[in-house]
Amino acid sequence: MDWMMIFKAFVIGGAICVIGQILIDKTKLTPARILVAYVTIGTILGGLGIYKYLIDFAGCGATVPLTGFGSLLAKGTISEVQTTGFIGAFTGGIKAAAGGISAAIFFGYIASLVSKPKIKKQ
Amino acid sequence: MKPIQSKEEYQSYVDDKTPNSPILKNCFNAFWVGGLICAIGQIIFELCTSRGIDETNAYTIVSMSLVFASAFLTALNIFNKIGKFAGAGSLIPITGFANSIVSPAMEYKSEGYVMGVGVKMFTVAGPVLVYGISTSIIVGLFYILFNTQSLILV
């Protein structure tokens, strides 16, 4: 167990969340817009090859926040472009991120099947 | 009280009435909960790599485990409480993305499995996927044209 890496993941992951919290408190951005902004920024940073230095430094501290999801889309696209060319720009992103997306959709559906719809308390 | 006429008046009225959120406390909670989620992810990652799983798959397993945990806690109605406490701390990690899918899926079950669950699942996740995927395609096209990564790395 690499405790230093876990500590770095804690600090960097926490810091990325604090930026989001400041955006929530100080601006009128809705959570949906913040998530979109994070993914887009992560994809651009991933595409420029900058984000992977953060991943090398902090591991899951960089990949678990949604910016990491974005950088994964970019990384998948670029590696697919390198192997298959033009068509890779359209197939690579989702292929790389498929695990997380499919899991979220599948578990979400299962959760809606098993849960009782709750009546909102006024 | 005089009636509110313009949009600006209404805005200043709202700003006047809404309590100032304690930003330092919010940031502190976001920091340690968000950090903790990432640290748990890193522990799962270390466990995977120590069993000889390669890095790419290990990161996918981390995402899937956290998504599962988030879906599970959302179904038990625990995640909403964490979300209220931690704010961005549970929103920004992939747990927030999972919660944004699971929570409306559960809530709109009464509207049916296709138009309720199937549609409302993507109220937040939809835009995230649209912009994420579109940007990644643009990144790919830019890479073909300009080889962006080598620009940075030289």
Higher model confidence: residue B68 or residue B1? B68
Written as six digits, the tokens of A93 are 């992103």
Q: Which residue of B has its CA nearest to A118?
A: B107
Higher model confidence: residue B10 or residue B20? B10
Low-confidence ranges of chain A (pLDDT < 70): 117-122
Written as six digits, the tokens of A67 are 């910016």
Q: What is the mean pLDDT of residues B86-111?
A: 91
Q: Which residue of B has its CA nearest to A73?
A: B136
Domain that holds residue A54: 3-114
Q: What is the mean pLDDT of residues B105-133?
A: 90
For chain B, give the secondary structure using H, E and C.
CCCCCCHHHHHHHHHHHCCCCCHHHHHHHHHHHHHHHHHHHHHHHHHHHHCCCCHHHHHHHHHHHHHHHHHHHHHCCCHHHHHHHHCHHHHCEHHHHHHHHHHHHHHHHHHCHHHHHHHHCHHHHHHHHHHHHHHHHHHHHHHHHHCHHHHHHC
Higher model confidence: residue B10 or residue B89? B89
**Is the interface score ipTM higher than 0.95?**
no
pTM of the model: 0.85
Share of chain B above pLDDT 90, in %: 55
Kindly state whether residue A120 falls inside one of the protein's structural domains.
Answer: no
B153 touches chain A (CB under 8 A): yes
pLDDT at A1: 77
B93 touches chain A (CB under 8 A): yes
Nearest to B136 by CA among A32, A69, A113: A69
Kindly state whether residue A119 falls inside one of the protein's structural domains.
Answer: no
Kindly state whether residue A7 falls inside one of the protein's structural domains.
Answer: yes
Of A18, A48, A111, the CB nearest to B106: A111
User: Partners of A65 in the beta sheet?
Assistant: B93
Nearest to A43 by CA among A86, A87, A97: A97
Question: Residue B95's pLDDT band (boundaries 50, 70, 90)?
Answer: very high
Tell the residue number behind the tokens 């974005």, with chain if given.
A70
What's the total number of domains in chain A? 1
Kindly state whether residue A122 falls inside one of the protein's structural domains.
Answer: no
Q: What is the pLDDT of residues B53-88, one digit of tens each?
A: 998 899 999 999 999 999 999 999 899 999 999 989
Q: How far apart are CA B40 and CA A3, in angstroms?
A: 12
pLDDT at A122: 44
Kindly state whether residue A92 falls inside one of the protein's structural domains.
Answer: yes
